[in-house]
Amino acid sequence: MRGPHNLWRLIRTGATFERTGAMRVALDAVDAPRGLRIAARVIGWPFAWLGYTGDPDLPPVTRALTALGPAYIKFGQILSTRPDVVGTELAGQLTVLQDRLPPFPTPVARAVIQSELRAPVDALFTEFSEPVAAASIAQVHRARRADTGQEVAVKILRPGIEAAFRRDIDAFYFGASLIETLSPASRRLRPRDVVNHFASVVAGELDLRLEAASGSEFAENTRNDPGLIVPKPHWSLSARRVLASDWAGGIPLGDVAAIEAAGHDVQALATNVLQMFLSHALRDGLFHADMHQGNLKVAPTGEIVLYDFGIMGEIDEYTRRVYAEILFGFIQRDYDRVARVHFEAGYVPRDRNITDFARALRAVGEPIFGADASRISMANLLSYLFEVTERFGMQTRTELILLQRTMVVVEGVARSLYPQINMWQAAKPVVEEYVQASLGPRAMARDLGRIAQTISRNGPLLPELIERSIWRMRDEDTQPKAQNPFSWRSALLGAGLVAAGAVLARLLFL
């Protein structure tokens, strides 16, 4: 249903911002230029009467986003972690979107549990509280298992949330198509692919069985990580719309005053949050991609409690190495290395000048390193880097969207705890450790071992592959050479690689 009817949804979005007064607040927060303010006023004012009114007790931007629906609330959650972008006042107003939205009635939650788990709530739990937290997609109740007496958190999807997200994403697809049509230059940014990526992430978040699986895998990956607590899922009490997991106690990470009053070291916590994220992304390739304050607590022992695994990011080992080399190159201020990595990874077209690109990267990095600690920002670096790569023809990398977005959120969380944190200094040991483990001699030996294992595993197929190559060369020899001048070379190269692989496997495994 991605038709023109979605234009109505986009118009109503602007109208809602105008009607609630959020348009002016948002433009002030980002210090929008006068021309943009005039254009927004001219476009928004005639349609203001079409906008949703929202809850008048909420601040304007929060009011508009909650009225527009869950996808917009997700966007607001990200902005709530960026006081350096939208200002301290607006960021504080948006924190209610993390876990303090209006809940749906407890009787409805009980009905969902009974339907999903095929048993009454009283038979499953001896205690079942009113909602203790409510966010854009689900709400949480505190309960106690009837069979073991263990205290658990029970997460339940909001009724009708699937249809609401489908409607919003449908409008986003239409908006992306409209942008590509009206501005052909924007196609390089692949807006439809970006929306498609967002849709796939949301689809996973709307099935709590997948969240349970992600939480279980994440707990296994991090079981030896100091300073981190990961609640484990309870599979017997989980289904598509219901998820039970260990109860996560502690002080919400957004309550800095309470954290300081409890005697916790906010600088150490801020550093831990950043290093934790980088370690999971680089070491494991699986990272929590929704690390706002609503999903983080501080345990009485000072450990960070991380929960809600509805949005997870995953990057392959090759991409991890590229990302680490880029970060490491900036940390070392080796802009030639950063440029070379971009070209080798295919991020920048090879017909561009690598020397010019390295010089442009220096213009990105040096002002950041010349700033004081409170202004050194990885998020700003990513923003400036995007501007440079845009000039050099780099396309949007959809596989890095979650990684880049989460880096922005994590930095916002760290700065909310300790505004003076030096992001690069905090990141350096994690990145250096990964680079040493993944790009040194040991990593090369490990890669060769994997290649040999692959060849050895496919050993029975090698004779047939070589024979096919020989017969293909003979067949091509009877054809006019002008038809395929490179076929002999390709076949010989393929046969040579197969034979070399077989020899390597024999040397390594016999």
Q: If DSSP states are collapsed to H, E and C, what string results for 12-64?
A: HHHHHHHHCCHHHHHHHHCCCCHHHHHHHHHHHHHHHHHCCCCCCCCCHHHHH
**Residues 305, 296: contact at Cβ < 8 Å?**
yes
290 annotated active-site: yes
Which residues touch 142 (CB under 8 Å, ≥6 apart)? 127, 128, 129, 132, 151, 152, 153, 154, 247
Q: Which of 225, 290, 336, 351 is catalytic?
A: 290
**Residues 329, 307: contact at Cβ < 8 Å?**
no
Measured at the alpha carbon of residue 175, what is the angle toward residues 170 and 179, in degrees to the nearest 5?
A: 150
Residue 130, phi-psi category: left (phi > 0), alpha (psi -120 to 50), beta (remainder):
beta
Residue 313, Cβ density class (10 Å: 0-12 exposed, 13-18 middle, ≥19 buried):
buried
CA pair distance 336, 278, nearest whole angstrom: 23
Please give the distance of CA 348 from its chain centroid, rounded to a whole number.
22
**Residues 239, 208: contact at Cβ < 8 Å?**
yes
Collapse the DSSP code of 244 into the 3-class scheme (helix H, G, I; strand E, B; otherwise coil) and give the result: strand
Which residues touch 95 (CB under 8 Å, ≥6 apart)? 80, 254, 293, 294
CA pair distance 39, 193, nearest whole angstrom: 28
CA pair distance 296, 292, nearest whole angstrom: 7
**Torsions phi, psi for 134 (to 5 deg):** -140, 125
Give the neighbor-by-neighbor strand order of the sheet with 304-306: 228-229, 304-306, 296-298, 251-252
- Residue type (1 letter), 237: L
Collapse the DSSP code of 394 into the 3-class scheme (helix H, G, I; strand E, B; otherwise coil) and give the result: coil
Name the residue with tokens 């009283």. 122
CA pair distance 206, 137, nearest whole angstrom: 8
CA pair distance 410, 276, nearest whole angstrom: 10
Residues annotated as catalytic are: 290
